[in-house]
Amino acid sequence: MSVPAHKPLVYIISAPSGSGKSTLVNELLKSVSDLEFSISYTTRAPRGSETDGRQYYFVTRTEFEKMIRDGEFLEHAEVFGNYYGTARRFLHDAENNGRDLLLDIDVQGAAQIKQKLPEATSIFILPPNRKTLEERLRKRSEDCEEVIQRRLITAAHEIENYDRYSFILINDHLEESIEILQAIVRSERLLRAGRPLSADESKFVEMADCCRLANVRERVKPILDSFRTSDAPGRD
């Protein structure tokens, strides 16, 4: 008799750049077992200490377009003028290895995954307000002023899609955000298992529930307002 294949839980994380997503994702991967990170393909050049096969697979546009034609992507999108895509094989690998899969992708990619895998758990990370996002983008000194302004405008558009996600995490205090993110992953696994929960397990579920879309709308409103009233570059 064949052993039934593990159906991986798929977690999608999206956030405007500068929201602290990479730090949160790295901490999550360190602290939660059996969670595989899907390394995306991209046509953008490596930044700083990024290496091929770790943060991304860096490929040319020609190579990427061939992969599209060969149907190798579960989803792909153009972000800031470059292609980014999630290879199908990561889902198969997670399935074969009995692990769950974490995708760090933009809102376009998230929408494509939700169409193909409606059960995927989607998490949107929000900065506490526009001013904090602008400060974080400046502090990491990765981009010139023009790029920072472009990222802020893109962020304002991306944030408007927050209500397509199952969970909203407002990344104000890093330690707390890491705990919440861990709780969301654990809670989804516990709910999938469908067995009675211990008191400790129930706490994870409650913590995650606080970030469910229906429970955060009031907290999200002032954040959206801070972006909507600050269209002009450089305003607080």
Is 35 or 105 the residue whose CB approaches ligand 5GP more closely?
105
Contact string (CB under 6 A) for ligand 5GP, positions 91-130, x = contact: -------------xxx-xx---------------------
Is 27 or 75 the residue whose CB approaches ligand 5GP more closely?
75
Residue with tokens 């990024």: 50
| CB of 10 closer than 8 Å to CB of 99 | no
Helix, strand or coil for residue 203? helix
Which of 65, 158, 66 has the alpha carbon at shortest distance from 109?
Answer: 158
Query: Pseudo-torsion of CA 214, 218, 220, 224, nearest 10°?
Result: 120
- According to the binding rule CB under 6 A, does residue 84 interact with ligand 5GP? yes
- According to the binding rule CB under 6 A, does residue 19 interact with ligand 5GP? no
CB of 78 to ligand 5GP, least distance (A): 9
Helix, strand or coil for residue 184? helix
- Could you tell me if residue 53 is left (phi over 0), alpha (psi between -120 and 50 degrees) or otherwise beta? left
- According to the binding rule CB under 6 A, does residue 224 interact with ligand 5GP? no
- 77 C-beta neighbours (distance < 10 Å), count: 18
Which of 147, 69, 72 has the alpha carbon at shortest distance from 57?
Answer: 72
Is 108 or 161 the residue whose CB approaches ligand 5GP more closely?
108
Length of the chain: 236
CB of 146 to ligand 5GP, least distance (A): 16
CB of 108 to ligand 5GP, least distance (A): 5
Q: Give the Cα separation of 30 and 47 in Å (integer).
A: 22
Q: Which of 10, 18, 27, 40 binds ligand 5GP (CB under 6 A)?
A: 40
Is 104 or 204 the residue whose CB approaches ligand 5GP more closely?
104
Is 17 or 187 the residue whose CB approaches ligand 5GP more closely?
17
Q: Give the Cα separation of 163 and 217 in Å (integer).
A: 9
- According to the binding rule CB under 6 A, does residue 161 interact with ligand 5GP? no
- According to the binding rule CB under 6 A, does residue 18 interact with ligand 5GP? no
Report the interface residues with ligand 5GP, using CB under 6 A: 17, 40, 44, 75, 77, 79, 84-86, 104-106, 108-109
